[in-house]
Structures are given as structure tokens and as C-alpha cells.
Amino acid sequence: MPTRAVPETIGPAPAVLEANQRFYAAFHSLDIAKMSSVWLQEDWIQCVHPGWDLIIGWDEIRDSWARIFANTRRIQIALSGVRVHAEGDVAWVACTEHITSAFESSFDEALVQATNMFVLREGAWYLVGHHASLLLNVPESKVQ
Amino acid sequence: MPTRAVPETIGPAPAVLEANQRFYAAFHSLDIAKMSSVWLQEDWIQCVHPGWDLIIGWDEIRDSWARIFANTRRIQIALSGVRVHAEGDVAWVACTEHITSAFESSFDEALVQATNMFVLREGAWYLVGHHASLLLNVPESKVQ
């Protein structure tokens, strides 16, 4: 879970960044109820996990997180290069995820580039798109 | 370049799909002037090529396409699983790119998942975000 939030913002979008932090807190918690609360639970939302095919709609996206959570014992996520842009009631955050995962009998480290899309509904920002992909190189100096 | 546009649309967003087609036509053309015309040329726009770090701002994004075009002799791109969603003056398209590239002395085939983000400016849709990442598997049956 990111503990230091010193993002490079473009425009003042603290509420979007807070929604982004809630997403990563839910990811860190491995708690499907927390993860459910950050997404807009509609049938058009989309998710791409690293190397996975596109997943459309909340039901399938929820299932994908449930599978990831069931197969992960513990996860640490640090973010770097956090950038936000808001355009009306839509906003997106780009960030690099530094992920350490503990599984049943192994560890894995990954550097992942993510684009997270949010929409504003009744005063709250909800996640509607997550595109995450593995980076080929690990630029250690970029870790915040 | 995609020749058959029979996308699975969510909501009627033909102008967005047309902008998406113009992007892939520009990619296919390897012509930087055409590629320049599809992007909103501002300093906050973003691009992730497969495995590359996030690129921010038109100047650097333009340079990245110029590098790709300079190193590619010919490219064919077919799309599948095209989905669009519009939210006010923002829209995004998810699609799978089936790319065949010819270089100086080699060929490469890649299956890439892309999220393309557009904004509406004075009646026209411009690309403001492109996140492309390699898929691990090649599901041949999905090619349209």
C-alpha cells in the first residue's frame, strides 16, 4: 500500500487521487468487499490485468479480483510517477506500481504501468477502467 | 490498417470510433504528419507503448512515434474486440491490435491490448491517451 502520496499532479484533483489511493488500499487488503466499493458496478466498465485479455463488466471484473486475491497470500504495492488529469466528470491517473506478491510457496516482484479511469457520480469518484501492463525494465531510481 | 469496422459498441459513438480508425490509419501509414493530426497536442497527454515507460506530453509522444516509424519498414494492424464508451466530452476505446511489423531484416507479430482515450474539442475527437500492452496469449479465433 502506498504510504507516501506525493504525486506529480496536473491540475488540482485531490479527490481523484484519493479514489486512486482507495483502489490500491483495497488491492493491498486483498478484501473483495473493499475492492467492490471503489468500482462503479456497471456492465460497461473495463479492466486489463497484466497480460490478461480485456475484461468487461463488473461481474467479471469482480471475479478476476477474487481469483487474484484467492491466489495471493500477501501483497505490497508502492506507487511512483503518479499523474492525474481531470476532464469534466471524468479523470484518469497514470502511475507505476511496484508490486511484491507472496504466494503459497513463492514471491514475485513486478513493475507495472497502470492507467486508472474514474467517473464522478453524485459527488464521488468511482473506478471505471484499469489497464495494467508489465514494464520491461525496472528503473530502481524511480521508486519514491 | 483495419478494413472491416464492425465494432461491438456500447452506446452510439460513431465519431469516436472514426477517430480511433484515424489513429490506426496513421499508425499504418508510418506518416508522422498523419499521426500528429489525431492527437490533442498538449503537454498533459499520455502514451504507453508496449513495455515502455509512460510518456507525457505531445513533444515526447511525437518523438516516440517518429522513432517507431523510423525503425519500421511496413506495418499491418487488424483490430478485434473494439468497444467504445463515451462520458460527456470524454470517450475511450478498448481494442485488441493484431500487429505485423516488417523491419530492416526481420518480421514481428504481436497481439496488443490497447486503451485509447479521446476528448471532444470544438466538435472533433482527439486522442489524449494511448495505453498499449502485449498480451501473453494469441487467441487466433478472436481475429475479425
- Comparing A58-67, A100-109, B30-39, B72-81, the range with the smallest average pLDDT is A100-109
Q: Is B10 on the interface with A (CB under 8 A)?
A: yes
Cβ contact, residue pair B131, A131, below 8 Å: yes
Number of Cβ within 10 Å of residue A72's Cβ equals 16
How far off is chain B from A25, nearest CA to CA, in Å?
23
Cβ contact, residue pair B87, A90, below 8 Å: yes
Question: Which letter does DSSP use for residue A142 in this model?
Answer: G
How far off is chain B from A136, nearest CA to CA, in Å?
5
Beta-carbon-side half-sphere exposure of residue A94 (alpha carbons within 13 Å)? 23
How far, in Å, CA of A51 to CA of B10, rounded?
Answer: 24
Q: What is the CA angle A82-A86-A91, rounded to 5?
A: 75
Q: So what's the pLDDT on residue A137? A: 53
* ipTM of predicted complex: 0.84
Comparing CB atoms, the residue among B51, B128, B135 nearest residue A53 is B135
Residue range B40-66: average pLDDT? 96
Cβ contact, residue pair A136, B51, below 8 Å: yes
DSSP character string of B28-73: HHT-HHHHHHHB---TT-EEE-TTPPPEESHHHHHHHHHHHHHT-S
Cβ contact, residue pair B48, A113, below 8 Å: yes
Long-range contacts, stretch A137-144, CB < 8 angstroms, 24+ apart: A137/A111, A137/B53, A138/A111, A139/A111, A139/B53, A142/A80, A142/A81, A142/A96, A143/A78, A143/A80, A143/A98, A144/A4, A144/A6, A144/A78, A144/A79, A144/A80
Q: Is the distance from CB of A112 to CB of A73 less than 8 angstroms?
A: no
How far, in Å, CA of A143 to CA of A6, rounded?
Answer: 12
* More confident position, A94 or B3: A94
- Tell me the pTM: 0.86
CB proximity under 8 Å: B 61-90 to A: 81, 83, 85, 87-90
Cβ contact, residue pair A51, B136, below 8 Å: yes
How far, in Å, CA of B63 to CA of B118, rounded?
Answer: 20
Comparing CB atoms, the residue among B46, B83, B87 nearest residue A94 is B46
Percent of chain A with pLDDT over 70: 86
How far, in Å, CA of B77 to CA of B27, rounded?
Answer: 8
Q: Is the distance from CB of B91 to CB of B85 less than 8 angstroms?
A: yes
How far off is chain A from B34, nearest CA to CA, in Å?
25
Q: H helices of A39-116, where?
A: 58-70
Q: What's the pLDDT tens digit per position in A60-118? A: 999 999 999 999 999 999 999 999 999 999 999 999 999 999 988 888 899 999 999 99
Long-range contacts, stretch B121-124, CB < 8 angstroms, 24+ apart: B121/B40, B124/B19
- Comparing A127-131, B31-35, B83-87, B132-136, the range with the smallest average pLDDT is B132-136
How far, in Å, CA of A57 to CA of A42, rounded?
Answer: 6
Residue range B7-16: average pLDDT? 64
How far, in Å, CA of A50 to CA of B73, rounded?
Answer: 29
Grid cell digits, residue B101: 511489423
Cβ contact, residue pair B89, A87, below 8 Å: yes
pLDDT band at A14 (very low <50, low <70, confident <90, very high): very high
State which residue of chain B sits closest to A54, comparing Cα positions.
B113
Q: So what's the pLDDT on residue A8? A: 52
Q: So what's the pLDDT on residue A103? A: 87
Question: Which letter does DSSP use for residue A141 in this model?
Answer: G
Cβ contact, residue pair A88, B85, below 8 Å: no
pLDDT band at B137 (very low <50, low <70, confident <90, very high): low
Q: So what's the pLDDT on residue B142? A: 40
